[in-house]
Amino acid sequence: MDVNELLPKSETLRLREKLIGPSCKLFFRADPLKIVSGKGQYMFNEKGEKYLDCINNVTHVGHGHPKIADVASRQLRVLNTNSRFLNDNLVVYAEKLTSLLPPPLSVCFFVNSGSEANDLALRLARTHTKAKDVIVMDHGYHGHVISLIDISPYKFNHKGGEGKPDWVHIAPVPDIYRGKYTDKDYSMEELTDLYTDEIKKIVDENVANGKGTSCFIAESLQSCGGQIILPPNYLRKAYKYVRDAGGVCIADEVQVGFGRVGTHWWGFQLQGDDVCPDIVTMGKPMGNGFPIAAVITTKEIADSFGATGMEYFNTYGGNPLSCAIGNAVLDIIVEEKLMENAVVVGASLLKSLAVLKEKYHIIGDIRGVGMFIGIDLVKDRESREPATSEAQHIISRMKEEYILFSADGPHRNVLKFKPPMVFSLQDADHLITILDTIFQEIESVNV
Amino acid sequence: MDVNELLPKSETLRLREKLIGPSCKLFFRADPLKIVSGKGQYMFNEKGEKYLDCINNVTHVGHGHPKIADVASRQLRVLNTNSRFLNDNLVVYAEKLTSLLPPPLSVCFFVNSGSEANDLALRLARTHTKAKDVIVMDHGYHGHVISLIDISPYKFNHKGGEGKPDWVHIAPVPDIYRGKYTDKDYSMEELTDLYTDEIKKIVDENVANGKGTSCFIAESLQSCGGQIILPPNYLRKAYKYVRDAGGVCIADEVQVGFGRVGTHWWGFQLQGDDVCPDIVTMGKPMGNGFPIAAVITTKEIADSFGATGMEYFNTYGGNPLSCAIGNAVLDIIVEEKLMENAVVVGASLLKSLAVLKEKYHIIGDIRGVGMFIGIDLVKDRESREPATSEAQHIISRMKEEYILFSADGPHRNVLKFKPPMVFSLQDADHLITILDTIFQEIESVNV
């Protein structure tokens, strides 16, 4: 057995089925993977077999990074307590984080997960605006707590969901390939207008119905919804309509922040230097797998929240350990030039995927930026009918080739690339070679 | 400057005020403490001054425990990924945890905080019972997310709170010293009946109004509400009434679990071996400050939740790192005999406090078990009028004596003792000596 394995795989699986809630799903349910260790962009099973990891967007600076281990070890020996005491780690980290955002975003709340962050963002928005209604993007996902399932169409409109609460309003996702309006019928400029007009329609209806709009919350690039890149000017226009109606704008950067897009630290920045949300939430990659998340907002909104007099206390949030680790992650991103790497590797992949698209009809659309890429698979390029079962087959075949990939989006037909940021050009070449082989297999069967 | 200090205290404070939301409060606001390191039951400020910590119920096995640092360091080098892969740490920890609970509590969900745990418990209860209404105890506190402020009178009935939602029903807390019914007028047996009859009244009203009862949630010992010990048979009777009406019973052990009571692992076990909730939530001390929490329930309830088909995915929950640390905490509790220590130290303190009560009229009531003790301060023993300002004065005086203490309860007059479990007999003697001095000062002024 591997030195890091405590039980035979069959026993691990038996105990998992007995002891862990059945709602907690395994990848590759029919033949789940047991992972015992990881290094950089690779994960290893109990037999020592090496998998190339294209899906772990949490392990941002790579699996098993020694600097994170060193920082945690040192801080755990020194101190880990709550944020009701003054401690330097908290303020040093808050200062560094806010320096990476436009100046109005200057006040931090530290929490433990993206779900806690979005829940708090919702409270901030409601307290500040004194309104309740929320505008969300279709297929959006914002977290697993009760308040966020309520605002996540990815949850409430799917299996086990209870549908949309009446205070939630769904704007169509600006998916220009298979959304309500597409590039088949409209220019990019028209698409931006059509999609943002849908936001305007909602805020106007809220006004007409005597209701305010507390906020518009959107992932800066939609992930679970199918790796969607917002069209140019989308946020600029959407934010204006929302603000004109008294609402605040929340950028959910939980999945895509911290330099994943390569050219910028945050996804919303792709929309232009003048585009600035009122609240940003961040999480997943923030601690490289250590539970940290944050809400960063303006002084005005933080002051409105403070003015209620209700204390906000988060037991673990902003403790010296999590801040030390968050700080180390920021340092590593810079020291190891991971954003620069994302630019180079992302561009290379998009170029190679464009070549594959020429060869294989199953590839309907390729979209992405940096280490965030989606491949929308179709049965037919004209109808754009989603190739759902083919996507599942490809994922399984890639697993056989020791590459971990996943598919998502409303039709589960979008291959989703969001690897650790240390993913290399060599890895990209290997990935393309394997994809080429598998697409070839599929097309030869279908001929 | 201390080797662990990065900034002068004035600068830390300035940055804190600038960068952290004003809703996040500091202890001792007028003159906050800067803490740079900790060891066991002690914390050290930037001048190296040593404080005896009577309030950190999270740092359960003590500040800076080397074993936790070693385990974290090793696991961070090996692997930290989400629970969609099989991993031994998860099942080994789940097996150990469930072995500490009555057999029906056999299925685990791992999350990052007590708030995430109680939010999930609420979802489980509602899904299982198909009912929405919730019974809570007055002054109860269950967490900071939106769904839990809704069920926490400690929040919704206080500053900035928006009052009780109509689906929440408040049962009076069985505080036999200053609750709705007290030991002035009734025997213990009568008190249990009176307080549990209030639960019965609520479930009956729900039935009469055509509404079900999804759950009754209660801290097994109420902490923020004023260190309340439930009277004998309270949970046995309350649970029966709730279950007879189709509801499930949730024991919130977030603040008091993991052996704090000394004789048992969980607070609810103080009520008898046959008393078993349907759902238990745990958090704070679980990872000694590392963000871990859990919901443990019955197979039936977990299966109801699974049957909806909605996946429950918690990014960090149950990852190999948090499980390794949780496991180490359990080992340390046993190896260092911390529950045995809680029994001995708690008994000694209660005995010494009883002697102080003979001497000082300000002590109205002393109650506690193990490392969970409350001292209810009064202006007058007959009227039991709460000595709120005196409690605040005592806290400040103790800080001057390098002892960290806090006051809580609806009147903020209950001194709250809930230290790291390594608190020693010698610490207890020192604490009593200082308390004696301060009570003496107060009484001499008042004479």
Q: What is the pLDDT of residues B53-94, one digit of tens each?
A: 999 999 999 999 999 999 999 999 999 999 999 999 999 999
- What is the torsional sign of CA A98, A104, A108, A109? negative
Give mean pLDDT, residues A377-391. 97
- Distance, in Å, from the CA atom of B176 to the CA atom of B192, rounded to the nearest integer, reads 9
Tokens standing for residue B284? 């704070």
> Which chain A residue lies closest to B284 (C-alpha atoms)?
A315
Shortest distance between the Cα of A160 and any Cα of chain B, in A, equals 4
Output the pLDDT for position A405.
Answer: 96
Q: Does the pLDDT of residue B447 top 70, yes or no? A: no
Residue type, A312: Y
* Partner residue opposite A9 with nearest CB, options B43, B86, B108: B86
Tens digits of per-residue pLDDT, B6-64?
A: 999 999 999 999 999 999 999 999 999 999 999 999 999 999 999 999 999 999 999 99
Q: Do A85 and B37 touch (CB under 8 A)?
A: no
H-helix or E-strand spanning residue B15? helix B9-19
Q: Do B38 and A81 touch (CB under 8 A)?
A: yes
Q: What are the residues whose beta carbons fall under 8 Å from the beta carbon of B93, sequence distance 6 or more?
A: B323, B324, B326, B327, B330
Q: Residue A413: how many CA atoms within 13 Å on its side-chain side? A: 21
> Which chain B residue lies closest to A44 (C-alpha atoms)?
B79
Tens digits of per-residue pLDDT, B277-286?
A: 999 999 999 9
Backbone angles phi, psi at A156, to 5 degrees: -70, -20
Shortest distance between the Cα of B300 and any Cα of chain A, in A, equals 10
Mutate to test the interface with B, among A77, A148, A159, A223 (most CBs of B within 10 A): A77
Output the pLDDT for position B402.
Answer: 98
Tens digits of per-residue pLDDT, A258-303?
A: 999 999 999 999 999 999 999 999 999 999 999 999 999 999 999 9
Q: Which residue has the tokens 């001054």?
A: B49
Q: Do B114 and A145 touch (CB under 8 A)?
A: no
Tens digits of per-residue pLDDT, B315-367?
A: 999 999 999 999 999 999 999 999 999 999 999 999 999 999 999 999 999 99
Which chain A residues have a beta carbon less than 8 Å from that of B107?
19-21
**B73-335 fold:** Aspartate Aminotransferase; domain 2 (3.40.640)
Output the pLDDT for position A314.
Answer: 95
| Alpha-carbon distances, residue A39 vs A34, A36, A45, A431, B174 (angstroms) | 15, 11, 12, 18, 54
Which chain B residues have a beta carbon less than 8 Å from that of A43?
79, 81, 85
CATH 3.40.640.10 segments of chain B: 73-335
Output the pLDDT for position B354.
Answer: 98
Output the pLDDT for position A391.
Answer: 97
Shortest distance between the Cα of A78 and any Cα of chain B, in A, equals 5
Specify the CATH number of the domain A9-61+338-446: 3.90.1150.10
Instruction: Name the pLDDT band for A149 (thresholds 50, 70, 90).
Output: very high
Which chain A residues have a beta carbon less than 8 Å from that of B88?
5-7, 12, 36
Instruction: Name the pLDDT band for A106 (thresholds 50, 70, 90).
Output: very high
Shortest distance between the Cα of A189 and any Cα of chain B, in A, equals 37
Tens digits of per-residue pLDDT, B289-318?
A: 999 999 999 999 999 999 999 999 999 999
CATH 3.40.640.10 segments of chain A: 66-335
Q: Do B84 and A284 touch (CB under 8 A)?
A: no
Q: Does the pLDDT of residue B127 top 70, yes or no? A: yes
- Distance, in Å, from the CA atom of B362 to the CA atom of B352, rounded to the nearest integer, reads 15
- What is the torsional sign of CA A421, A425, A426, A431? positive
Output the pLDDT for position B2.
Answer: 87
Q: Does the pLDDT of residue B167 top 70, yes or no? A: yes
Output the pLDDT for position B153.
Answer: 95
Would you give the DSSP letter of residue B46? Answer: T
Q: Does the pLDDT of residue B165 top 60, yes or no? A: yes
Angle in degrees, CA B209, B212, B218, rounded to 5: 115
Q: What is the mean pLDDT of chain B?
A: 97
Output the pLDDT for position B1.
Answer: 80
Q: Do A23 and B123 touch (CB under 8 A)?
A: no
Which chain B residues have a beta carbon less than 8 Å from that of A77?
64, 66, 69
Q: Do B63 and A77 touch (CB under 8 A)?
A: no
Q: Do B7 and A92 touch (CB under 8 A)?
A: yes
Shortest distance between the Cα of A361 and any Cα of chain B, in A, equals 32
Instruction: Report whether B321 contacts B250 (CB < 8 A).
Output: no
Output the pLDDT for position B445.
Answer: 81
The reply to whether CATH 1.10.150.120 applies to domain A66-335 is no
- Distance, in Å, from the CA atom of A387 to the CA atom of A187, rounded to the nearest integer, reads 26
Residue type, B384: R
Tens digits of per-residue pLDDT, A49-85?
A: 999 999 999 999 999 999 999 999 999 999 999 999 9
Percent of chain B whose predicted confidence (pLDDT) is above 70: 100
pTM: predicted TM-score of the whole model, two decimal places: 0.97
Task: Give this complex's ipTM.
Answer: 0.97
Output the pLDDT for position B89.
Answer: 97
**How distant is the alpha carbon of residue B437 from its chain centre?**
29
Percent of chain A whose predicted confidence (pLDDT) is above 70: 100
- Distance, in Å, from the CA atom of B345 to the CA atom of B343, rounded to the nearest integer, reads 6
* Partner residue opposite B312 with nearest CB, options A5, A21, A309: A21
